[in-house]
Amino acid sequence: MTMGITEGAEPILELRHVSKKFPAVRALEDVSIQVKGGEIHALIGENGAGKSTLMKVVGGIHPADTGEILLDGEVLRLGTPLDALRLGIRTVHQEISLAPNLTVAENIFAGNEPTRYGLIDRRELNRRALEVLEPFKVKIPVNSRVGLLSTGLKQIVEIARAMAGSPRLLMLDEPTSSLERHETERLIGILRGLASSGIGILYVTHKLKEIFQLADRVTVLRDGRRVMVKPVSETHPGEIVRSMVGRELERIYPPAGGDIGGELLRVEGITKDSAFEDVSFTLRRGEILGFSGLIGAGRTEVAQSLFGYLRKDAGAVYLNGERLDIRCPTDSLNSGIAYLPEERKALGLYLGMSVVDNFVSANLRKYSRLGILSGREMDGACAGAVDMFRIRTPSIRQHVRFLSGGNQQKLLLARLLALKPRILIADEPTRGIDVGAKSEVHTMLRRLCDEGVGVIVISSELPEVLGLCDRILVFHEGRISGEVSRRAATEEKIMHLATGGGLSVEET
Ligand SMILES: Nc1ncnc2c1ncn2[C@@H]1O[C@H](COP(=O)(O)OP(=O)(O)OP(=O)(O)O)[C@@H](O)[C@H]1O
Ligand SMILES: [Mg+2]
């Protein structure tokens, strides 16, 4: 840790008694925080605690209602995000905000492209993009359109774009949510290097482990207020969680389920060119089956083909012994298969619609009598779900756009569960969800199983896979490289399989 640097250093960023209110929501209340030169300052708090709002206030997206923001000791007058950019304030936002139709290089230097004779100098542009991406040590074609990249690679481009501007202050809002473990470690190394060059870094995360790997100090927000700030070396995970949620959390994962029933889903040799090959497995009633593996191993594509987003080239799928012919998502919903997508913004929610409209949108038939929708029933069902999932919103009429990232994710899950599916396929179900809510989601999934539903969970977080799943399939380069039971599973075994190593039968 670099405590030595931060002790005497001058603050680069300082917030003094900043408050920010939205209609009916107090997002920040009298928050003060300092980020010093050379410091990595972690910011943590429950979903809706105000973390992203704080970054948006500093980034010039939202004006603060009261209080002062200082950069290098000077009070800032931020009118627009551009003002913040000019001062060297760079943000990596929680949701990917790249232009899908531009190339990787164009995105990184958008608005700031090198020119020659008044034209964009592509050669130079690509060369510089490669330079910016170099420390990440991943192969990203700088000439290809961003829309074609995986979520993980998009996230890296997003981070690289923020770094390309030689920032004075770098703010990252859950930058590792779609990164693999080794990519996260590399990012941590890169950020340490940046900090030691003297810039200030503000880092939002839901992953406690990262705080201890990376940060010098940590600030905890609860309901828009600062409830703790401490050097990381003087605190521990238990204390951070306690001050986040204001109570003690006893257990993180629910106990293993009771009876696992008979076969529900059987998948035989499904194949999709250049995505996955010869994938076979069964899912039983009441079982949580984990899909583990590195990003890009084909897990999401398998899930998408089961749900009908992707057409498979070969193979067969049976539900309760009957062959399924799924051509589109409607077919699979009609068969009782529900899917929680990885990218909630793209595939999941109508951001311009209200919480209740989103909640009922997948299931309108349920609320109609003789073709007439019952507003009261819809409201009632939605209010119940908001309560059960503790979705933080001032009302069920609020537009989903205004919910915090984690609360959007909870709404998506609530909507799916209201469909009462027979099979639920959840791709990274707890991404962006705070530690407390995470265990609520896990409990919810386990409860579904107790009702006889079969659940497939795709997760890149090994502790989650180990803590939650009854059985784990590990994917490597589009194939299943092994299967491990809950009892026998360890992080090492899974990593071994995920990176292409084999296991003998006794080990499983
Ligand atoms: N533009 C907006 N209009 C209205 N309310 C908003 C707006 N932006 C945020 N909010 C509300 O302000 C509160 C704080 O939201 P914020 O996005 O800062 O939370 P967060 O700590 O980043 O949560 P998460 O971990 O889920 O990302 C939430 O109740 C949210 O619904
Ligand atoms: Mg947020």
- Residue identifier of the C-alpha nearest atom 2 of ligand 1: 402
- Residue identifier of the C-alpha nearest atom 10 of ligand 1: 402
Q: Are 232 and 298 in a shared domain?
A: no
Q: Ligand 1: distance of its center to the CA of 174 in Å?
A: 14
Q: Are 144 and 8 in a shared domain?
A: no
* Residue 453 CB burial class (10 angstroms; 0-12, 13-18, ≥19): buried
Whether 94 is in the pocket of ligand 1, judged by its Cβ within 6 Å, is yes
Please tell me the predicted confidence (pLDDT) of residue 503: 57
Domain presence at residue 342 = no
Please tell me the predicted confidence (pLDDT) of residue 347: 60
- Record the tokens describing residue 143, joined without a space: 């000439």
Which residues make Cβ contacts (< 8 Å) with residue 86, sequence separation at least 6? none
- Examine the fold and report which residue of 186, 217, 245 is the final residue of a domain before the chain moves on: 245
Whether 403 is in the pocket of ligand 1, judged by its Cβ within 6 Å, is yes
- Residue identifier of the C-alpha nearest atom 12 of ligand 1: 27
Q: Ligand 2: distance of its center to the CA of 282 in Å?
A: 37
What is the full DSSP assignment across 271-286?
EETTTEEEEEEEEETT
Total number of domains in the chain: 3
Please tell me the predicted confidence (pLDDT) of residue 389: 85
In a mutational test of the pocket of ligand 1, which residue from 19, 25, 441 has the highest number of ligand atoms less than 8 Å from its CB?
A: 25
Q: Are 296 and 429 in a shared domain?
A: yes
Whether 406 is in the pocket of ligand 1, judged by its Cβ within 6 Å, is yes
What's the CATH number where 472 sits?
A: 3.40.50.300
Domain presence at residue 403 = no
- Examine the fold and report which residue of 245, 277, 309 is the final residue of a domain before the chain moves on: 245
- Examine the fold and report which residue of 119, 142, 166 is the final residue of a domain before the chain moves on: 166
d(CA 438, CA 430): 6
Please tell me the predicted confidence (pLDDT) of residue 171: 97
Domain presence at residue 292 = yes
Please tell me the predicted confidence (pLDDT) of residue 2: 44
Q: How would you label 316-343 residue by residue, b for 16+ Cβ within 10 Å and e otherwise?
A: ebebeeeebebeebeebbebbbbbbbbb
Domain presence at residue 469 = yes
Please tell me the predicted confidence (pLDDT) of residue 4: 47
* Nearest atom of ligand 1 to the alpha carbon of 23: 4
Q: Ligand 2: distance of its center to the CA of 471 in Å?
A: 32
Residue 337 region, left (φ>0) first, then alpha (ψ -120 to 50), else beta?
beta
* Nearest atom of ligand 1 to the alpha carbon of 409: 26
257 touches 286 (CB < 8 A): yes
Residues lining ion ligand 2 (Cβ < 5 A) are 52, 94, 404-405
- Record the tokens describing residue 325, joined without a space: 């012919």
Q: Are 132 and 208 in a shared domain?
A: no
Please tell me the predicted confidence (pLDDT) of residue 346: 60
Please tell me the predicted confidence (pLDDT) of residue 1: 44
Q: Phi/psi at 316 (nearest 5 deg)?
A: -140, 150
In a mutational test of the pocket of ligand 1, which residue from 33, 52, 55, 430 has the highest number of ligand atoms less than 8 Å from its CB?
A: 52
Sheet of 66-71: strands edge to edge? 25-36, 11-22, 66-71, 74-75
d(CA 477, CA 465): 19
Q: Ligand 2: distance of its center to the CA of 205 in Å?
A: 9
Please tell me the predicted confidence (pLDDT) of residue 344: 65
Q: Are 425 and 493 in a shared domain?
A: yes
Q: Are 156 and 182 in a shared domain?
A: no
Domain presence at residue 231 = yes
Q: Ligand 1: distance of its center to the CA of 114 in Å?
A: 37
Q: Are 26 and 77 in a shared domain?
A: yes
Local structure of residue 256 (DSSP, 8 states): P
Whether 25 is in the pocket of ligand 1, judged by its Cβ within 6 Å, is yes
Domain presence at residue 407 = no
Q: Phi/psi at 295 (nearest 5 deg)?
A: -60, 135
Q: Ligand 1: distance of its center to the CA of 36 in Å?
A: 25
Q: Are 216 and 200 in a shared domain?
A: yes
Q: Are 143 and 188 in a shared domain?
A: no
Whether 281 is in the pocket of ligand 1, judged by its Cβ within 6 Å, is no
Q: Ligand 1: distance of its center to the CA of 402 in Å?
A: 6
Q: Ligand 1: distance of its center to the CA of 401 in Å?
A: 9
Q: Ligand 1: distance of its center to the CA of 403 in Å?
A: 5
Residue numbers of the domain that contains 314: 263-336+421-507
Whether 52 is in the pocket of ligand 1, judged by its Cβ within 6 Å, is yes
Domain presence at residue 114 = yes
- Record the tokens describing residue 362, joined without a space: 């997948």
Q: Are 199 and 326 in a shared domain?
A: no
Whether 405 is in the pocket of ligand 1, judged by its Cβ within 6 Å, is yes
Please tell me the predicted confidence (pLDDT) of residue 224: 95
Q: pLDDT tens, position by position, for the chain (508 residues)?
A: 444 455 567 899 999 999 999 988 899 999 999 999 999 999 999 999 999 999 999 999 999 999 999 999 999 888 888 889 999 999 999 888 899 999 999 999 886 677 677 777 888 899 999 999 998 888 889 999 999 888 888 989 999 999 988 899 999 999 988 888 888 898 999 999 999 999 999 999 998 999 999 999 999 999 999 999 999 999 999 899 889 887 666 666 777 766 788 999 999 999 999 899 999 999 999 999 999 998 778 999 999 999 998 899 999 999 999 999 888 888 998 899 999 887 766 667 898 999 999 999 877 777 777 778 788 888 999 999 999 888 999 999 999 999 988 898 889 888 888 888 999 999 999 888 888 888 888 888 998 898 899 999 999 888 889 999 999 999 999 999 999 998 899 888 998 998 877 654 444 4
Please tell me the predicted confidence (pLDDT) of residue 463: 86
Q: Are 105 and 81 in a shared domain?
A: no
Domain presence at residue 367 = no
d(CA 482, CA 501): 9
Q: Are 119 and 153 in a shared domain?
A: yes
